[in-house]
Structures are given as structure tokens and as C-alpha cells.
A and B are shown apart, each in its own frame.
Chain A
Amino acid sequence: MFHYTLRRLAFAIPTLLFISVILFLLLDLAPGDPTASLPLTIPLEVREKIRLSLGLGEPIHIRYAFWLKQFFVNEPLHLISSLTGFDVSGERLRVISWQSRSPVVDIVLERMPQTLWVVGLSYVVGILIAVPVGIVSAWRSNGWFDQIGTFVSMVGFSVPTFFSGVLLIVIFSVHLGWFPSIYDTTHRVTDLGSFFHQIRQMVLPVSVLALYNAAQISRFMRASTLDNLHLDYVRTARAKGMPERRVLLVHVLRNSLGPVVTVIALGVPGIFGGAIITEQVFKVNGLGHLLITAIQANDLPMVQTLTFIFAVLIILFNLVADLLLGILDPRIRYG
């Protein structure tokens, strides 16, 4: 297992480099122009000068090399400098966003808290709902609980968040006035009162996302549990007179978690990708909002860096998923 992990990690480096090249080519090939969002009253010669000042005059391999150096040399050096206080980075240029002309990594860090609070929490809530619902649905399959669970989760999955979010705002913000419709990213939790405010402003976006996540994961959980329920070991355990609760919660749960863990782990990088639509609806302005605005503004350094960080997380969590699968099911051998 240890060797397997090491080998996977070593293999990840060329993979990531390859992904970064593909990303760079893709973004370069995509039609789009960083000056497209400027008013039409700004003439074309001026736009051309702006494009040149962004470095778009250089050929693509030079720009790629620049980005590599900025991201893999200058950024870590800057991090070291700011952590230790020694100036090892000097005047090196960091990856700069075209929209805000500020270091991309700083903006990403600024966006992290609200994304983790809202999207991360909704994922946890979603899992906490989905796993028991999935097990019970499978255990009493086709019973009333299963029917209702299926119905709710299917509706939850098929109603897009751009609609459910607006619906919740209209009901709970406009008509009832219980929760704010705008998420305040500058809000700081200092005491009980501000903590309650934080909870209040998270309720709506977290519910929207949690419903969506729970719907998806509970389907996989139910399917996986169903598959295990009629395997021989379950019948053996039952025949030996083991209490049903123990059969279900110890044996079946452990064995049926495998595929679900894959799904869950695969979803974790998605947390960092943010939730583009939900963030937009509630103005959470997390990483999803950052990515979509950067794409719309053709802010290539930002998009490239964000998607690359995203790729690193995907590879990492795929490895985690594989390792977890191995731990949950010792029969799997990685060769």
C-alpha cells in the first residue's frame, strides 16, 4: 500500500504537468478576449495596447514558460518569504490576475473561507443525510420511507439550483423575512451573536446545496446497500441469529460504503471548485464565483491557476478514494 501510494504520487507529477499544458492550450485556443467586457466606447487601438500590456503579444510557449516559473518558483518563494520573514523572493513577479492586477493566489486564499463554510458544510450535511437515508431506503426497499426518499431525492436532483435557490429566497427572505438573501463575506464570528448571524446567512445556500448533494449520494448508497443485503454473508449472519441492527450497521454498512466512498471522495475537489450557480444566487462570492467571473472576463492567469489547483486536488482525492477503497475492502489489491 505504501509503495503503491509513493508510486502514484511520483506518477502524479508528469500527469499534472501534462494537464497544465492541455489546460494552457485549451484556454489559449478558446475564443475570447480580456478586453471584451470593456464598453464599446473604448476604441480598438486602445484595446490592442491593453492586450499587449497583458503579455498577449508573446508566443504561447513563452507565456506557458512564464506561468510555470511564476507558479512553481515565484509563488512558493513568496510563500516562504511571507512565512519566515526572510526576503528570498525579491522582486519576482507572482501570477497576476488580468482583471484585478493582483496576485491570483492572494485572491484564492481570500475566497477560501466562504467557500469552505458554505459548500463544505453543505457537503457534510448532504453526506450525513444521505448515508442513513440510503441505508434505510435499501433495508426497507420499496417501503413508504424508500418511496418518499426516492421521490424527494429525484426532485432534489432534477430541480436545478438556479431555480431552487431563487424559490427559497422568495419564500424565506422576501415573504417570511427569516434569512438574508445576501451572504456577507466580510462578516467575522467573534461572539455568540455574530455566530448566529453566520448560521442565519448560511441556512439558505447550505440547504440548497445539501439537498442536491444528499439526493445524489443517497442514490448511490441505496444501490450499494441493496447489492450487499442479499449476499451470502448477510444471510449467514442473520441465520446465526445476529441482531438485525448489527448486521446492517456493521457488516452491510462497511461493505457497501466502498463505491459510495469513491463518489464522496470524488466530490471533495468539487467543494473547492465552489458551487457556481448557488454562489451566484446568494452572492457568496467564493471560488466558484471567482472561476466563472474569470472565465467570462477571459482572465487567463486566473483560470489557468484555479483549474490547475483544482486538478491537483482531483488527483489527490482520487488517490485518497483508491486508498480508502483498499482499506474498506481488503480483497482489492493494487498491482
Chain B
Amino acid sequence: MADAGHSRRLEAWARLAGQKSAVLGGGFFLVILIVVLLGPFVWTLDPQLVDIRDRNAPMSLDHPLGTDQLGRDMLARMMEGGRASLAVGMAAMLLSLAIGGVVGVLAGFVRWLDGVLMRLTDLFLALPLLPLVLVIILLFRDTLRSLFGQEAGIFMMVVVVIGITSWMQTARVVRGEVLTLREREFVIAARSVGTPPRRIVRRHILPNVLSPMTVSATLGIANAIITESALSFLGLGFPSDFATWGRLLFDATDYLQQYPGRVMWPGIAISLTVLSVNYLGDGLRDSLDPRISHRARR
């Protein structure tokens, strides 16, 4: 059994490696990760260092991406912002995917849970985001701060806020897919030979809902990065001098005509990240999808 699982995993990896776009996407994502994680060791300028005489500087050797309106180095801020945005994006996406996936599968597969869980989804869809966030922050900010410290506490809060307000679409889509799958021949067959439900879900349902989930994941990362910027703009996220990509983009929008470069960098960074995650996701789906071997290759 362990051997079989091992070989299946190897096979999936081999298939993943065989896909050009997935390798490209994964590679790109890796590059972005390396730059934002290891970059600060090479480019050691403090992203919060204010230098008023050198503000709004164009691209130069001293500041490869220029400086912002307070003379802070954009490259250093982009790297600092990348760490925060990627961490928030990934964590919030995973959280929302996990909640959405579990709720969706349970609602689709377990009949008596369907009504309750879908009404819960309705409730969350109906809650207005802003007051909800304000309440969560009011209730939990000080607790989280004392438990995890300032930055980690805010990070947790932001991730949880985005996670619990963005899982509903995934849940609905996954449930729809599961409802269809439940009546497919192979699931009925598995059930009729007495396969335990848990195993049906793992072996037959989960692999088949991967494709809507990868789409959700891709969109989820972009959504989380943007939502984070909205939160910190409203003063509900990280402290104002802490850069994130979304916030850099937001702050720079006013300067669109004067200093277009400042909008470009965070915009490009977000788009490239989302693109690479998308290609990686597509590749992942294709290599994990059990039906791939039947597919007529074009």
C-alpha cells in the first residue's frame, strides 16, 4: 500500500515536471519567493528608512526602483511587501480553501448536512465585510497581540479575517460538483460494493473536485492580496509604515501620472505572482487528475 502510494506520487511528480507551463509557473513562483525571502540579505537597505532629501527619486544605482514620497527605497519596500503579501495570500487562500472544501464536500455528500451548511454559507455571504472586520478586530486584537506579539498577531488576524470571509464561493462550487459526482457511475459502483464513505470521498470525490478548487486557489491568492491592501488602508491591517504590495499599489495610485513607475512595480509583482500560481495550479490539477491518462492529448 505504501509502495503503491509512493509510486503514484512519483508518477504525479513526473507528470508535473513534464508540463512546460507548470514548470515555468512553479519556477517563477520560486524565483519570486527567493527574491523576497533572501533579497534583504543582499539588498540591506532598511525599507522603513526615511530620507526626505531623496524623495521621489527615479531609478538609479542607489535605488534600483526609485524611492517613494518619503524617500524610502522602493526595492527594499517591494521585498518587505512581498513577504507580507505572499504570506498573507498563501495562508488566507489555504484557510479559505480548507473551509470551503470541507463545507462543500460535506454539504454535497452528506444529505442531512446540506441544508444547514448551505444556510450557514448564505449567512456568511450576507454579512457585510467591513463591520464584521471591525468587530473581529475589536474583540480579538488585544488578545492576539498579547498571545503572539504585534506583527504575528496582526498577521493571524488578517489571515483569519480574509479566510473566513472568502470561503463561500469555493464551498458552493465544490458542493455543486460533488452533487453531480455523487450520482456518477463510479461513485455509485463504489458505494454498492460497500466502500466506506470516507474512502469514497478520498479516492473518488476529492481528486475530481480538484479542478474547481485550483481555480478558487488561484483567484483566492489574488483576492487575499487585494483584500489585505483594502484592510490596511482602512487601518485594520498591518501598521501604516509596514509595506505590502497591495498597499504600495494603493498609495501609488494618486501618483499615477507623476511617477508611473511606482504603480508599475507592485502591479507587476501581484500579476506575476497570480499568473505563476495559476500555471502551477493548472499543472498540479492535470498531474493529480486521475482521468488525465485517458485524455486525448492535442
Asked if A170 and B256 sit within 8 Å, CB to CB, the answer is: yes
Residue of A nearest to B19 (CB): A142
Q: Which of under 10, 10 to 19, 20 to 34, or 35 or more describes the interface residues of B? A: 35 or more
Asked if B134 and A32 sit within 8 Å, CB to CB, the answer is: yes
Query: In the complex, what residues of B have CB within 8 A of residue A258's CB?
Result: 176, 180
For window 234-264 of A, CB contacts with B under 8 Å fall at 235, 258-259, 262-263
Stretch of A53-61, A69-77, A151-159 that contacts chain B: A151-159
Distance to closest chain B CB from A30 (angstroms): 4
Distance to closest chain B CB from A48 (angstroms): 21
B115, B126, B229, B295: which contacts A11 (Cβ < 8 A)? B115
| Given A230-B296, A258-B176, A266-B172, A158 contacting B131 (CB threshold 8 A) | no
Interface string of A291-335 (1 = CB under 8 A from B): 110010000000100011011001100100100010001011101
A219 and B278 CA atoms in complex are apart in Å by 10
Query: In the complex, what residues of A have CB within 8 A of residue B294's CB?
Result: 230
Asked if B275 and A154 sit within 8 Å, CB to CB, the answer is: yes
Interface status of B56 (Cβ within 8 A of chain A): no
Asked if A325 and B122 sit within 8 Å, CB to CB, the answer is: no
A154, A174, A314, A329: which contacts B122 (Cβ < 8 A)? A314
Interface status of B232 (Cβ within 8 A of chain A): no
Interface status of A87 (Cβ within 8 A of chain B): no
For window 133-181 of B, CB contacts with A under 8 Å fall at 134-135, 138-139, 168-169, 172-173, 176-177, 179-180
For window 247-262 of B, CB contacts with A under 8 Å fall at 249-250, 253, 256-257
Query: In the complex, what residues of B have CB within 8 A of residue A220's CB?
Result: 173, 212, 215
Asked if B128 and A154 sit within 8 Å, CB to CB, the answer is: no
Query: In the complex, what residues of A have CB within 8 A of residue B183's CB?
Result: 331-333
Asked if B179 and A325 sit within 8 Å, CB to CB, the answer is: yes
Asked if A295 and B212 sit within 8 Å, CB to CB, the answer is: no
Interface string of B217-232 (1 = CB under 8 A from A): 0110010011001000
Asked if A158 and B274 sit within 8 Å, CB to CB, the answer is: yes
| Given A15-B122, A158-B270, A230-B295, A26 contacting B212 (CB threshold 8 A) | no
Interface status of A181 (Cβ within 8 A of chain B): no
Query: In the complex, what residues of B have CB within 8 A of residue A32's CB?
Result: 131, 134
Query: In the complex, what residues of A have CB within 8 A of residue B189's CB?
Result: none
A142 and B22 CA atoms in complex are apart in Å by 11
A329 and B249 CA atoms in complex are apart in Å by 43
Count how many chain A residues have C-beta atoms less than 8 Å from C-beta atoms of the other chain.
64
B126, B138, B275: which contacts A30 (Cβ < 8 A)? B138
A295 and B127 CA atoms in complex are apart in Å by 13
A263 and B298 CA atoms in complex are apart in Å by 29
Interface status of B211 (Cβ within 8 A of chain A): yes
Interface status of A121 (Cβ within 8 A of chain B): no
Tally of A-B residue pairs with Cβ under 8 A?
160
A158 and B222 CA atoms in complex are apart in Å by 5
Asked if A151 and B218 sit within 8 Å, CB to CB, the answer is: no
A27, A167, A329: which contacts B180 (Cβ < 8 A)? A329
Interface status of A223 (Cβ within 8 A of chain B): yes
Stretch of A17-25, A78-86, A201-209 that contacts chain B: A17-25
A170, A269, A303, A321: which contacts B128 (Cβ < 8 A)? A303
A18, A30, A269: which contacts B123 (Cβ < 8 A)? A18
Interface status of A163 (Cβ within 8 A of chain B): yes
Interface status of A195 (Cβ within 8 A of chain B): no
Interface status of B111 (Cβ within 8 A of chain A): yes
Interface status of A97 (Cβ within 8 A of chain B): no
Distance to closest chain B CB from A146 (angstroms): 10
Interface string of A257-279 (1 = CB under 8 A from B): 01100110010010000000000
Residue of B nearest to A329 (CB): B180
Asked if B215 and A219 sit within 8 Å, CB to CB, the answer is: yes
Query: In the complex, what residues of A have CB within 8 A of residue B250's CB?
Result: 160, 162-163
| Given A29-B135, A150-B278, A154-B278, A159 contacting B271 (CB threshold 8 A) | yes
Query: In the complex, what residues of A have CB within 8 A of residue B115's CB?
Result: 11
Interface status of B100 (Cβ within 8 A of chain A): no
Interface status of A285 (Cβ within 8 A of chain B): no
Asked if B253 and A166 sit within 8 Å, CB to CB, the answer is: yes
A163, A226, A325: which contacts B267 (Cβ < 8 A)? A163
Interface status of A141 (Cβ within 8 A of chain B): yes
A311 and B132 CA atoms in complex are apart in Å by 15
Interface status of B119 (Cβ within 8 A of chain A): yes
Query: In the complex, what residues of B have CB within 8 A of residue A115's CB?
Result: none
Query: In the complex, what residues of A have CB within 8 A of residue B119's CB?
Result: 11, 15
B126, B131, B214, B256: which contacts A295 (Cβ < 8 A)? B131
| Given A155-B271, A266-B169, A307 contacting B215 (CB threshold 8 A) | no
9 contacts between A and B (CB under 8 A): A23-B128, A141-B298, A154-B274, A162-B250, A219-B219, A220-B173, A230-B296, A262-B172, A314-B126
- The residues of A with any CB-CB pair to B shorter than 8 Å are 11, 15, 18-19, 22-23, 26-27, 29-32, 140-142, 150-151, 154-155, 157-160, 162-163, 166-167, 170, 174, 216, 219-220, 223-224, 226-227, 229-231, 235, 258-259, 262-263, 266, 269, 291-292, 295, 303, 307-308, 310-311, 314-315, 318, 321, 325, 329, 331-333, 335
- The residues of B with any CB-CB pair to A shorter than 8 Å are 21, 111, 115, 118-119, 121-123, 125-128, 130-132, 134-135, 138-139, 168-169, 172-173, 176-177, 179-180, 182-184, 208, 211-212, 214-215, 218-219, 222, 225-226, 229, 246, 249-250, 253, 256-257, 263, 267, 270-271, 273-275, 278-279, 285, 291, 294-296, 298
Task: Name 18 extra pairs, CB < 8 A, besides A220-B212, A220-B215.
Answer: A18-B123, A23-B126, A30-B131, A31-B134, A150-B279, A154-B275, A155-B275, A158-B226, A159-B267, A223-B285, A230-B291, A230-B294, A258-B180, A262-B172, A262-B176, A266-B125, A292-B130, A325-B180
